[in-house]
Amino acid sequence: MSTDFKSLPKAEIHIHLEGCFSTETIVELARENGTPLPRPEERLLEFQGLADFLRFLDFICGLSRSKDQLARSAYAFSRRMADSGVGYADVIVNPTHWSGWRGNLSGLVEGLDEGFRAAEADGLPPVGLCVSLLRQQSCVEAVALVEELLRLKHPRVVALSVDGNEAASGRTGEKFAEAFQIAGRGGLGRTAHAGESSGPEGVRDAIFLLGADRIDHGVRAIEDPALVEILADRQIALGVCPSSNLVLGLYRTLGEHPIELLRRAGVPVSVNTDDPALLRTDLAAEYARTADAFAWDKETCRGVAETSIRASFAPDALKTSLLEALARW
């Protein structure tokens, strides 16, 4: 199908700011800070699995040490969204990666907000901030983070998230249940990585222990037909990232990816990029690849984009505007 997916009104709802630094930006920040690269520039984005990938995220984020560098990173993210035709983005930020801002959550949020506000003033897409826990954190640390977010009451922060390597940390739903309950009572959205490095049990925990409004990845739910029914019945959206799943070895080919089986089973699915700079992709390209792999027609693509908008934490008025534009597409 020959379609201009940049023009498709859509939201990006599973994307990490940590994964949006271009090679050029990484090299520039390393030079500014006098920090050596972990490997030669030409091999900078070559990863040996998820653990190596996550270590690299720590390195990248450690390069943003000033408020100006934070604001520049946020502005560059908004520019990336505009270049792919995104109308709104929920961006995930995990404070544990940003070593220069440990113990200064308000400074991290304010620095990023400065960049996002400047971008919006220049006509770039609005962005909501999903602040994420790392699976290796403790229950006490998780609750403390949420309580601080609720004290800050920063309008940029729209949700609590949890990410990290589930295979390495084991099941963490019970550990983080209290933090997610507090977040929900405090009016924050709730989203959780599950069903990527964990199997269906991770998705069940995200639903029943964390009360997740949507699931980041969630694709391994396909291994549990009863769980697929739950997702469909409750209309819990999945933020699916096809290329990420391939690069990190979850599936060998796009044709083997379960996004279409999940969609046909009635599960709301959206297409996203996860870490687009590091995976050398963008949202328009992800739609094009996925639509081609599964022979999606225009109405199917419209339906997937609609899911992304409805499942986002965008303000209602913005959702309405994007949905009206989508109906005209």
How do residues 139-186 score in pLDDT, each as one tens digit? 999 999 999 999 999 999 999 999 987 777 778 889 999 999 999 999
Question: What residues contact residue 2 under an 8 Å CB cut-off, 6+ apart?
Answer: none
Distance from C-alpha of 104 to C-alpha of 50, rounded to nearest angstrom: 27
What residue ranges in the chain does DSSP mark as E strands? 10-16, 86-93, 127-134, 157-163, 189-194, 214-217, 237-240, 269-271
Residue 110, token pair as written in the block: 């304010």
Place of tokens 């991770």: 202
Give me the pLDDT at residue 169, please: 78
For residues 77-100, average pLDDT: 96
DSSP 15-28: EEGGG---HHHHHH
- Over the chain, what is the mean pLDDT? 95
Q: Going from the N-terminus, what domains does the chain have, and what CATH number goes with each?
A: 5-328 (3.20.20.140)
CA separation for the pair 42, 22 (Å, rounded): 13
Closest among 285, 267, 268 to 276, alpha carbons compared = 285
pLDDT tens-digit map of 108-117: 999 999 999 9
- The pTM for the full model equals 0.94
Give the per-residue pLDDT at 261.
Answer: 98
Whole-angstrom distance, CA of residue 141 vs CA of residue 143? 6
End-to-end CA distance of the chain: 15
State the pLDDT at residue 2.
56
Burial class (CB in 10 A: 0-12, 13-18, 19+), 187: exposed
- AA letter at 77: F
pLDDT (tens digit, 9 = 90+) per residue, 25-80? 899 999 999 999 999 998 998 888 777 877 888 899 999 999 999 999 999 999 99
Specify the pLDDT at position 197. Answer: 85
Amino acid identity of 12?
A: E
42 CB-side CA count, 13 A: 0
pLDDT tens figures, 227-264: 999 999 999 999 999 999 998 889 999 999 999 999 99
SS3 assignment, position 140: helix
The amino acid that residue 293 corresponds to is A
